[in-house]
């Protein structure tokens, strides 16, 4: 126990004025100690700057190559730190190469948005059921869902392609969207979050008030899980945007997404790295804009997810 006299004891013995003064003094001393212990120093800032530089270096190197030309890159494999000023000219060359860049960008946006929304919805719905509903086999089913995360996705490519061929969905965007509408990781993630963040009392009180199970999910569970759902949606969007393996197999060159289109560009201009890197920069810019506008929500989701109780 602390050796300091409590505020209640001071109020009883010395009066309310002395008690208030002691409370203000202790509050000031506590806030000063906390602030001094958490104040970042020069080493912290230097370490963060180094991390930012190392993280941005590959993208800046790609931009340097994208702003140059094939001859200059062949003569100088390590370019200067100053862009050569041919980036917009290379963008026009990408458009003139016969690659449907706008169509590929539209396909990637459709696939990424629909997949992200569906994964968030179905994963949150399953997480609510696994964490707050009592039914037979709940733990066994959840263990089975988690166990599927250990199976490599490459093992299911051949049977999945056979199914898509039987349905006649090859060369269609729905062949990429529908298999990715829910993920085992999303179910596990939302189950763990809702289990800690949503009290049983709220679910029971909503049921007593006459709300259906879906209404409880929509009005109670979904708003509670918004921080974790935002993070899951953002990660799913990035994963869908950069996915190459399955879209390359099932779509080919007919309706490519952006990573597949970049591969086709690389096949046509194998040694023209300025053209290839221009496509890489174009594909990266939407992700940078997404993180720029959704970064605050991402940090908020991480902080709220880390706080229990």
According to the 3-state scheme, what is the secondary structure of 108-166? HHHHHHHHHHHHHHHHHHHHHHHHHCCCCCHHHHHHHHHHHHHCCHHHHHHHHHHHHHH
Position of tokens 């509050």? 27
What number is the average pLDDT over the span 207-219?
A: 88
Q: Which residue has the higher pLDDT, 148 or 298?
A: 148
Q: Counting beta carbons within 10 angstroms of the beta carbon of residue 280, is it exposed (0 to 12), middle (13 to 18) or buried (19 or more)?
A: buried
List, in order, residues 6 or more apart from 24 with CB less than 8 Å away. none
pLDDT for res 302:
57
Helices (H) and strands (E) in the chain, counts: 17, 0
pTM score, two decimals?
0.75
Question: Is the model's pLDDT at 61 over the cut of 50?
Answer: yes
Radius of gyration of the chain from its Cα atoms, rounded to whole angstroms: 27
Question: Is the model's pLDDT at 306 over the cut of 50?
Answer: no
CA-CA-CA-CA dihedral for 135, 138, 139, 141, to nearest 10: 160
Question: Is the model's pLDDT at 303 over the cut of 60?
Answer: no
CA dist 74 and 57 (Å) reads: 20
Q: Which of 238, 275, 243 is nearest to 259 (CA)?
A: 243
Question: Is the model's pLDDT at 2 over the cut of 50?
Answer: no
Local confidence band at 308 (pLDDT 50, 70, 90 cut-offs): very low
pLDDT for res 30:
59
The two structure tokens encoding residue 143: 């263990």
DSSP H/E element including 297: helix 273-306
CA dist 278 and 280 (Å) reads: 5
Task: Report angle CA 240, 246, 251 to the nearest 5 degrees.
Answer: 100
Question: Is the model's pLDDT at 305 over the cut of 60?
Answer: no
222-266: pLDDT as tens digits: 888 888 898 899 889 999 999 988 998 898 777 888 888 888 776
CA dist 93 and 107 (Å) reads: 21
Q: How many residues does the chain have?
A: 309
CA dist 27 and 277 (Å) reads: 56
129-162: pLDDT as tens digits: 999 888 888 889 999 999 988 888 888 888 999 9
What number is the average pLDDT over the span 107-130?
A: 94
Local confidence band at 38 (pLDDT 50, 70, 90 cut-offs): low
Question: Is the model's pLDDT at 35 over the cut of 60?
Answer: no
């Amino acid at each position: 126990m602390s050796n300091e006299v409590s505020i209640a004891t001071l109020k009883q013995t010395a009066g309310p004025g002395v008690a208030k003064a002691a409370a203000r003094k202790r509050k000031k001393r506590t806030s000063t100690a906390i602030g001094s212990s958490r104040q970042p120093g020069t080493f912290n800032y230097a370490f963060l700057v180094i991390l930012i530089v190392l993280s941005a270096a590959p993208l800046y190197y790609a931009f340097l190559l994208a702003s140059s030309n094939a001859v200059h890159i062949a003569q100088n494999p390590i370019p200067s730190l100053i862009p050569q000023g041919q980036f917009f000219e290379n963008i026009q060359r990408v458009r003139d190469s016969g690659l449907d860049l706008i169509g590929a960008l539209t396909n990637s946006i459709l696939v990424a948005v629909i997949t992200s929304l569906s994964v968030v919805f179905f994963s949150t719905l399953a997480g609510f059921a696994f964490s707050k509903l009592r039914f037979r086999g709940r733990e066994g089913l959840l263990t089975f869902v988690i166990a599927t995360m250990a199976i490599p996705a490459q093992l299911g490519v051949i049977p999945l392609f056979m199914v898509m061929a039987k349905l006649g969905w090859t060369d269609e965007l729905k062949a990429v969207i529908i298999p990715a509408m829910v993920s085992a990781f999303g179910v596990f993630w939302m189950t763990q979050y809702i289990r800690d963040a949503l009290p049983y009392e709220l679910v029971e009180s909503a049921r007593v008030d006459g709300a259906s199970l879906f209404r409880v999910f929509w009005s109670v569970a979904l708003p509670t899980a918004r921080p974790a759902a935002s993070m899951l949606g953002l990660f799913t969007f990035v994963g869908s945007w950069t996915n190459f393996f399955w879209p390359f197999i099932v779509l080919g060159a007919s309706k490519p997404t952006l990573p597949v289109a970049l591969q086709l560009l690389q096949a046509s201009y194998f040694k023209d790295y300025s053209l290839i890197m221009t496509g890489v920069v174009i594909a990266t810019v939407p992700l940078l804009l997404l993180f720029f506008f959704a970064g605050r929500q991402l940090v908020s989701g991480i902080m709220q997810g880390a706080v229990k109780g």
